[in-house]
Amino acid sequence: MRDFLKGGGEMGALTRALDWSKTSLGSPDEWPLSLCTTVATLLSSRFPMFLWWGEDLIQFYNDAYRPSLGNDGKHPGALGQKAKDTWPEIWDIIYPLIRQVLDTGEATWSEDQLIPIYRNGKIEDVYWTFGYSPVPDDAFRIAGVLVVCMETTQKVLAKKQVEENEKNFRNVILKAPIAICILRGPNHLVEIANEHMLQLWGVTSAKVLHKPLFEGLPEVKSQGFEKLLAGVYHTGEGFSAQNVEVALPRNGKIEQEYVDFLYEAETGAGGFITGIIVVAVLVTAQVKARRQIEEVVADRTKELAQANLHLQRSNAELSRFAYIASHDLQEPARKIATFSQMLQNSAPELDEKSRNYLAKINKAGGRMMTLIRDVLSYSELSKQAPAFESVDLGVVIQDVKTELELLIEQKGADIGVDGLPILEAIPLQMFQLFGNLLSNALKYSRQAVPPVIRISAQSEGGYCHIQVSDNGIGFEQEYAEQIFSIFQRLHRKTEYTGTGIGLAMCKKIAENHHGDIYASGVPGRGATFHIILPEKQENAG
């Protein structure tokens, strides 16, 4: 064994072990010196190397080259084998290269070339950067080809991946349903802009693509966007805004449009800002629609305010009219009642029929008076500015009972009062409220059934819930709301006296106190009136 075959790792051992006498090269002892030197260099190099030698292109390769052959492939059979036998699948690619080197003596250079080879049990796409160099024999004739190579599959695939990503990204931009563009560099070169963006800009791609933005789109110059873009480009801080007014070219004219947009800095490999991604949405239609709505709302609000003012005025006028009318109406009504009575007294010799007529005139006059007085009281409820003070409802009920003493006695009524509070209210109105409710309870009693009236109160979350219940004639539940309307009566006035104003007054009083009143009843069993009043009033004195 000649000394040049020392070392060389696995391939060194295999090279030594191979019976070279069976190849056309013969035993290593007979090899030319240049072959020995080249094989020794190859085996000791850690750079992937491969050598073809002689007419048959007998092969040598080193440990560094070995992984390129993979498992279950050409290794270790390729060692000492003829090139043609090892590389049938790529013979058409490599043989011309080998031939060229052998014939001309000029080396080749290939970078990232795809040379699919059979390895790992299959044909694989393998990329190589490699050079074929001529190796002379001892007589300086070209006798072999040395291949120094590097497998670049990983690098190429990574690069392809990047390119693929880039392509996908561009596709995403181009096909996005909103306007997107990328502005590159400090001059905001339009690198890519999708159709939506071009439409928004109102230009063709030829006019803006690969040009500085404000050169391709001079119409948007000096509208403040230069400063914003420069800010994003220099600081890297994104910017977004909504409903921004911008003048843009539209069919040869400049029109006002509104956009929502977003600037986001794009950073390159070194972490430096290389461009700006712009995303924009045209919102002119929305802005115009909203403005229109706002205008309509403003108009309506104004109209409403005016209508309110009119209403307040006419309410005040109505209330004034009701007051004056009822005040002045009292006088003739009173005179009718009085003079008819005086006539009755001064003419005792009148016959029964005439006396009867006079009595009717007197009664009608009296009733008219009561009616007018009640309307007057009702209209006064709207007129007065509320003056709330602390009112003891227990005292109010006591006063009402004193006022109705005669009626209570006549009817033999039993009135029970339980836990009435002190609350902020208008004293006179409280008196009118409970006066009306109690006189109703006494008035609408069942025949021969002494009235039993219960008044109780509970505190419920800042409100006082007062109940006035009786055992009187009650009413059908369907009338529960109607009874609070002015002049609403459920009975003929010959059955039960009254003007139909009492409960309307009660409702008005409850409203004046920011409270409520409602009723429930069962015909022939009785009625319950519920009064809800706040315990405190906002402007109490």
Partner 1 sequence: VGYSSILLIDDDEDDQEIFLTAIGEISTSATCIAYNNARIALEKLENREISVDIIFLDLNMPIMNGKQFLIAFMKNDSLKKIPVIVLSTSSQQQAIHEAKSLGATDFITKPADYLELKNILFTILV
Burial 295-332 (b: 16+ CB within 10 A, else e): eeeeeeeeeeeeeeeeeeeeeeeebeebbeebeebbee
Quick check: 521 and 475 in contact, CB under 8 A?
yes
Asked if omega into 76 is within 30° of 0 (cis), the reply is yes
The pair of three-digit structure tokens given for residue 148, joined into one six-digit string:
């120094």
Beta partners for residue 133, in sequence order = 146
Dist CA 40 CA 51 (whole Å): 11
- Rank residues 60 and 388 by Cβ distance to partner 1 and give the closer one: 388
- Rank residues 78 and 376 by Cβ distance to partner 1 and give the closer one: 376
> Which residue stretches of 24-152 are H helix?
33-44, 83-86, 91-104
Dist CA 48 CA 240 (whole Å): 55
Q: How far is the CB of 306 from partner 1 (least distance, A)?
A: 32
Q: How far is the CB of 383 from partner 1 (least distance, A)?
A: 10
The pair of three-digit structure tokens given for residue 98, joined into one six-digit string:
């080998």
Q: How far is the CB of 515 from partner 1 (least distance, A)?
A: 22
- Rank residues 41 and 330 by Cβ distance to partner 1 and give the closer one: 330
Q: How far is the CB of 509 from partner 1 (least distance, A)?
A: 15
- 504, containing H or E segment: helix 502-512
Under 8 Å CB-to-CB from 334, ≥6 apart: which residues? 365, 369
- What are the residues binding partner 1 (CB under 8 A)? 327, 330-331, 333-335, 337-339, 341-342, 345, 365-366, 369, 373, 376, 380, 428
Radius of gyration of the chain (CA): 56
Dist CA 534 CA 464 (whole Å): 6
- Rank residues 262 and 364 by Cβ distance to partner 1 and give the closer one: 364
CA-wise closest residue to 151 among 78, 48, 61: 48
Q: How far is the CB of 426 from partner 1 (least distance, A)?
A: 11
Q: How far is the CB of 533 from partner 1 (least distance, A)?
A: 21
- Rank residues 327 and 536 by Cβ distance to partner 1 and give the closer one: 327
Q: How far is the CB of 338 from partner 1 (least distance, A)?
A: 5
Strands (E), 169-236: 179-184, 189-193
- Rank residues 284 and 341 by Cβ distance to partner 1 and give the closer one: 341
- Rank residues 333 and 423 by Cβ distance to partner 1 and give the closer one: 333
